[in-house]
Chain A
Amino acid sequence: MRADSRQRSIGEPRWARAGLAALAVAVLVVMLVLPLAVVFTEALAPGLRVFAAALRDPDAAAAVRLSLLVTAIAVPVNTVFGLAAAWCLTRHRFPGRGLLRALVGLPLSVSPVVAGLAYVLLFGRQGWFGPALAAAGVQVVFALPGLVLATLFVTLPYVAAQLIPLMEALPPDEEEAALTLGASGWQMFHWVTLPRLRWGLLQGVLLCTARAMGEFGAVAVVSGHIRGLTTTMPLHIEMLYNEYDLPAAFGMAALLALLAVVTMAAKGVLEWRRNRAVARGQASVLA
């Protein structure tokens, strides 16, 4: 350990090293820990009973159910997309591959409000498909389908972003070996590819879930804020906050914050697991 610390140093005096560390911790505390702490203190300050009552409110429960439903639809779709995109982009070569790869990352650089707006202009009453949908009596915007689509847009790259670098780092040797042994494409994918992707896939799904539950901007535009019907948890928080019902708003916020903390902890554990497996050589090379 001591030799290690000597290696890390670039000759800075001990006080500078401690000072920098203290400064970094201070930055983290002020910028990150305090906001997180505020959520929990504001939620629990009025007392545990108020907190529980806020969550039992029917509209709040509906918001939670809606968020869970939207996430339950969006995450599997994005997982399938992520696997497909990672496979064709890393195990095949074709013209336009670079462009496709850049497009996969596009939703990450677009403002969520723009995403929601785009869907309103596509499926809203004055949108491209507006008249057709109205004639068929199908409601997309201001209803569940719109929420799902907006969430899908925003979270689409999340699983792919984890899988693509992972698959690029994994040589196709094992998959080729499986093919020479007579495995079909699906057998190869199931027995050889997926096990190697295990940890990366879980991380991607985890991040995708957290993002889907917490998406605000895109959903805000598409939802119409119909209380009890199209308000997801983040939208419900906004409503409560704007009505000055702070304990209830923070109560729901605390739930989402808890989810965020669990997500980060789980990601850390997965990362540790992944590194341990690599050290043991169990997962070949980098899975």
Chain B
Amino acid sequence: MAAQPGGGARAGVGAGVIRMLGLSKGFGATRALEGVSLDVAPGSFVALLGPSGSGKTTLLRVVAGLEGVDAGELWIDGRPALGLAPGRRGVGMVFQGYALFGHMTVAENIGFGLRVRGRGRAEVRATVERLLALVHLDGLGARLPSQLSGGQRQRVALARALAVEPRILLLDEPFGALDRQVREELRAGLKRLQQELGITTLFVTHDQEEALALADRVVILDRGRVVADLTPGDLVDGAVRGFAARFLSLGEPEG
């Protein structure tokens, strides 16, 4: 396995390499994706940035296996992925509304992926404890999602996705409905976690500032096409700002 930033715990599990070639998809008359090609290196943190309707969420869902495509190819770790079910791609996903199982406790939520794979109760319990500690939610295992704050729910969603040791982490606007302070704390936490675990991460956002703060690489989408592929360094650099701003037509980062 190639050397990964942060390194350590992920060695030998699978690199998390993603290759996309010419992905195209339409919903009726609308073209959601138009010839998207992207190579994602293992362990990198890539932000998919763009206004609503740019296709960034659709792209994420295609990688997850929740949407099909009309044309194009997708490889995950060298294997063709388009025919694979979502559960067999080695991806973990954090949904926009977190999509926690409302009728299950926090512990049951986190342990779900392991339970459906038939792991033993002791193993599940141990993993759940470890993950609760990882996201700083120790002792809250017996709570129901309705009894948690937004920030806590977000962390449960993250822990749940990580429980099955995915090679790739997909996040769909995970900090949307939270207030600024919570958001910034969670951002820092996510960045730290990603570096520690060295897991390939694709992160969808419409917030420019967030993309800058978190990602090593920012891919800008507009109406289904990749229009820019930059590093934060490029974006901060004045020359590119106008270009990015024009395509994004964003005002305040408070999206």
A residues with CB within 8 A of B: 171, 173-174, 176-184, 187, 191-192, 195-196, 280-285, 287
Indicate which residue in B65, B97, B99, B112 contacts A183 across the interface (CB closer than 8 Å): B112
Report the Cα distance A161→B85, complex, angstroms. 31
Q: Please report whether the interface of chain A is mostly helix, strand, loop or mixed according to DSSP.
A: helix
Name B142-185 residues within 8 Å CB distance of A. 144-146, 160-161, 163-164
Q: Of B1-9, B88-96, B242-250, which stretch is located at the interface?
A: B88-96
Name which of B65, B86, B161, B163 has the most chain A CB atoms within 10 A of its CB.
B86
- Residues of B within 8 Å of A285, CB to CB, are 102
When A176-B99, A181-B87 are in contact, do A282 and B112 touch as well, CB less than 8 Å? no
Q: Are B88 and A180 in contact (CB under 8 A)?
A: no
B66 at the interface (CB under 8 A from A): yes
B55 at the interface (CB under 8 A from A): no
When A173-B95, A180-B86, A180-B91 are in contact, do A284 and B113 touch as well, CB less than 8 Å? no
- Residues of B within 8 Å of A191, CB to CB, are 101, 112, 116
Indicate which residue in B65, B93, B102 contacts A174 across the interface (CB closer than 8 Å): B102
- Residues of A within 8 Å of B100, CB to CB, are 174, 177, 284
- Shortest C-beta distance, A162 to chain B (Å), equals 19
Q: Are B87 and A179 in contact (CB under 8 A)?
A: yes
A–B Cβ pairs within 8 angstroms, 13 of them? A173-B95, A176-B95, A177-B100, A178-B116, A180-B66, A181-B112, A181-B164, A182-B88, A195-B103, A283-B103, A284-B103, A284-B145, A287-B103
Q: Are A192 and B101 in contact (CB under 8 A)?
A: yes
Report the Cα distance A283→B103, complex, angstroms. 6
- Residues of B within 8 Å of A184, CB to CB, are 87, 116
Closest 10 CB pairs of A and B: A281-B146, A284-B102, A182-B87, A181-B113, A173-B99, A177-B99, A183-B116, A180-B93, A179-B86, A195-B103
